[in-house]
Amino acid sequence: MPYQLLYWPSIQGRGEFVRLALEAAGAPYVDVARGDASSGQGLPALSHYLQDESVTRPPFACPVLVDGNQVIGQTAAILLHLGPRLKLVGASVADRLWTHQIQLTIADVVDEAHNTHHPVSAGLYYEDQKIEASRAAKEFRTQRIPQYLGWLEAVLARNPKGDQHLIGARLSYADLSLFQLVAGLLYAFPKATKRALKKTPRVLALQDRVAQHRRVSAYLCSERRIPFNEDGIFRHYAELDA
Amino acid sequence: MPYQLLYWPSIQGRGEFVRLALEAAGAPYVDVARGDASSGQGLPALSHYLQDESVTRPPFACPVLVDGNQVIGQTAAILLHLGPRLKLVGASVADRLWTHQIQLTIADVVDEAHNTHHPVSAGLYYEDQKIEASRAAKEFRTQRIPQYLGWLEAVLARNPKGDQHLIGARLSYADLSLFQLVAGLLYAFPKATKRALKKTPRVLALQDRVAQHRRVSAYLCSERRIPFNEDGIFRHYAELDA
């Protein structure tokens, strides 16, 4: 039975980290909320998992993965579940935990990137918090992007199996997430991110390699890849980059 | 060999979720950064794990747990590792993932609570972002605290094994984290949190029960429990509560 992914149908958002893993592995899945409500898909299917009292283990938010009778929320928890099934993580318990730790750190950057355009509240429009966003984005650009990319560079440099992958000598879901993080940062803050990437050549090279992965590159060219846009997490507002 | 926990020595912060698990289980551990630098502990020991190039798998930030030769960062990843060892999680893979999912959601609230006093940047002082903080705190108080506590209430209400615990019929690290979350919210936003808790009686009852757990209550009365203060994540600024 194909995996069911439930996420907002018009943005990459956090769902994209799950989509990339499923696509890179060539796993069968249905992007449910992008389907037709008349066939039991679409947004009503997403609402069901978030709101119906019949869901014994309700996710607080999407993305949600349905695997048989298991309903899983939280992006990193979904990838923890999928990793071994999609062969996108090493075999040892220690490697799996380390991969997860990197994923959680990438999730932290993603939260901070979202916070640059929504520093006051995710419940308000960007237009209602532009002044705050300007200050938040400056800190993120000048301090956090270099710190986080620098940390990923160190992880690559110190990998005993070489600097081609974050963990071991094979592609993992953390590599895919690094790709998505860098792609998002380049979209949202092209000037600041290109500047930071000059000091993190291994991160840049890994991002390129993932983009050229056979299944990933096919996915990126397909209609299944939603373009970045200003409803997502990574938003390009020229006034926030420098 | 005792576990080594490395975290800022003067705040509860994210380290407290790990401390509570270790304390509730009666596990031997050393709170390293609170020790003496002359005996190899203190802040230099923390810096070692965050900065030395000899650390093959460097955490981006603390808390850090050292278990034998394994160095683990990210609070939720540390609890994922400790859960089975401390018998603070169910035996089934599905229960363990669900417990982790709840922990990750609690971590999201904690991030948002921190964001109320540091909406622009964690790198700036509160005094330099007070105006932004006022707006962020209002959204958090009126929208997010009720939403998150309401979700935890639903998790308790829907637990097939009863509403005494978040997962199954035994204490888990997620229950301990719920305790810490509610304690922190009550410290930082007493008015708003008490109002929200009136609608979530199961959450309130579980928080009370955890506080009365034999080892937890002994810990809370000990000097090992650092008091809440305005350097931590949960800060009481009267102007941010209402």
Closest partner residue to B72 among A81, A97, A129, by Cβ? Answer: A97
Domains and CATH numbers, chain A: 3-85 (3.40.30.10), 93-213 (1.20.1050.10)
**A15, A62 in Cβ contact below 8 A?**
yes
How confident is the model at residue A161, as a pLDDT?
97
Q: Are A126 and B85 in contact (CB under 8 A)?
A: no
- Cβ contact (<8 Å) for B119 and A101? no
* Residue to test with chain B: of A121, A138, A145, A172, most B Cβ within 10 A: A121
CB < 8 Å to A53, chain B = 154, 158
Query: From the DSSP assignment, how many helices (H) and strands (E) are in chain A?
Result: 10, 4
The pLDDT-based confidence of B72 (bands split at 50, 70, 90) is very high
Shortest CA gap A53–chain B (Å): 8
Question: Are the beta carbons of A57 and B155 separated by less than 8 Å?
Answer: yes
Q: What is the ipTM of this complex?
A: 0.97
Over pLDDT 70: what percentage of chain B? 100
What are the tokens at A107? 């999730």
Average pLDDT over residues B92-115: 97
Give A-chain residues touching B111 at CB under 8 angstroms. Answer: 111
- Tell me how far apart the alpha carbons of residues A70 and B198 are, in angstroms, rounded to a whole number: 32
Question: Helix or strand or coil: residue A138?
Answer: helix
Q: Give A66's strand partners.
A: A4, A71
Q: 10 Å Cβ neighbour count for A154?
A: 18
Confidence of residue B120 (pLDDT cuts 50, 70, 90): confident
pTM reported for the whole predicted model: 0.98
Nearest-CA residue of chain A relative to B55? A158
B97 and A59 in contact by Cβ < 8 A? no
List of long-range contacts for B12-15, beta carbons under 8 Å, 24+ apart? B12/B180, B12/B184, B12/B225, B12/B226, B12/B228, B12/B232, B12/B233, B12/B234, B13/B63, B13/B232, B13/B233, B14/B62, B14/B63, B14/B75, B14/B107, B14/B110, B14/B233, B15/B62, B15/B63, B15/B75
Residue found under tokens 């990998």: A159
What DSSP state is assigned to residue A34?
A: G
Query: Is there a contact between B80 and A100 if contact means CB atoms under 8 Å apart?
Result: yes
Reported confidence tier of residue B124, pLDDT bands at 50, 70, 90: confident
Mean pLDDT of B29-51: 95
pLDDT tens-place values along chain A, 242 residues long: 899 999 999 999 999 999 999 999 999 999 999 999 999 999 999 999 999 999 999 999 999 999 999 999 999 999 999 999 999 999 999 999 999 999 999 999 999 999 999 998 888 899 999 998 999 999 999 999 999 999 999 999 999 999 999 999 999 999 999 999 999 999 999 999 999 999 999 999 999 999 999 999 999 999 999 999 999 999 999 999 99
- pLDDT tens-digit series, residues B174-205: 999 999 999 999 999 999 999 999 999 999 99
Residues on chain A bordering chain B, Cβ-to-Cβ distance under 8 angstroms: 53, 55-60, 70, 72-74, 76-77, 80-81, 94, 97-98, 100-101, 104-105, 108, 111, 115, 119-121, 123-124, 129, 132, 135-136, 139-140, 143, 148, 151, 154-155, 158-160
* Interface test mutation site (partner B, options A101, A134, A240, max chain B beta carbons within 10 A): A101
Q: What percent of chain B has pLDDT over 90?
A: 95
What is the per-residue pLDDT for B215?
Answer: 98
Cα separation, A163 vs A186, whole angstroms: 22
Per-residue pLDDT at B170:
97
A101 and B151 within 8 Å at the Cβ level: the answer is: no
| B60, A105 contact by CB (below 8 A) | yes
What is the reported pLDDT for A9?
Answer: 96
Q: Decide if pLDDT at B155 tops 90.
A: yes
- Residues of B at the A interface, defined by Cβ within 8 angstroms: 53, 55-60, 70, 72-74, 76-77, 80-81, 94, 97-98, 100-101, 104-105, 108, 111, 115, 119-121, 123-124, 129, 132, 135-136, 139-140, 143, 148, 151, 154-155, 158-160
Mean pLDDT of all residues belonging to chain B: 97
